[in-house]
Structure 1
């Protein structure tokens, strides 16, 4: 998911059944800009194949495609994916992005198929998070990169963002790292990083990012 642009009133926690309703509530829910941690980690990588897990309206997928990546963008909101596909057509990027309507709670990507697997803010209290991150990690090709970003666990729960996150929906980079076999991964980084100031201002949410970056051997 990309950074939220609209809304200042605190709302109830989002559930899986309300995401299409959320996207229908405005002509665009996210800014369309790529997430800051994605830009920081991927700008210097050679383009290849990428999986954008929880793609939302496609801000990250569109940025990746514009830089030469071939992207599989996955989300369980058909409304969000339709908007992403329309924007891709407008930007003449349709041939570089496959939009897949899938539920990450159950869908398993092809193993070792992607040079980059990226997931931002997959804050779903209903999912088996460990199993989901194992499936995403398994999709990273040898030499490829796994990037998982969330809001720092244990910090502010409610904010101006349309999501009022439940405690059970949050995780740390260390939680994600715990599912990785150290024999299969190198350069595993788990950090807390300040959010992009512009994103913090737009969302009313200054909670730091928890960031995992890892390379498959």
Structure 2
């Protein structure tokens, strides 16, 4: 690989390796949870603890969990630009306008996602640093921060490798989010797939020639 290309890819590769190491740590250091009879051991799939055995929600943690979910929503808005990117040539005016709007907004929503993730992650790093789930969250934060830096650099140096690196980091961040975030992330996946299907349907209809009846 030429030196110029290596300079672009090397920082991203280092971050990807660090994030992968944190995810491996997350999977290999899962605590052995007791079953609902009190003895250590696996729980039956789908088995939920009785109300009295569920750990109480710590004061303030709900707020920071909500901030994390809002960060995911802003991250999804940024990702939706990729859905509209190849549809900018669509004859449908709504798709064009929405695509242009998302292009202008996706950097801003990406920075908002980074800020909210920093607040969300900072709280859990301070209060639950020993929690293994914090390590998967840290992996996601490293990827998102690097993603934001590459996005900023791409605006200055519009290089093909810079764009590819940005795309690779985006997908890596989504994979880590899938591991770390849970329910709300899967809800946003459903919304994104539904949007993708709707976009495809509108584009398909817009490409069909209008039928004119002859008098």
- Is the shorter-chain TM-score for this pair beyond 0.5, marking a shared fold? no
The one of the two structures with greater contact order (alpha-carbon pairs below 8 A, sep at least 6) is: 2
More helix by share: 2
* TM-score, length basis structure 2: 0.23
Structure with greater proportional strand content: 1
Relative to the length of structure 1, the TM-score reads 0.23
The structure with more radius of gyration: 2
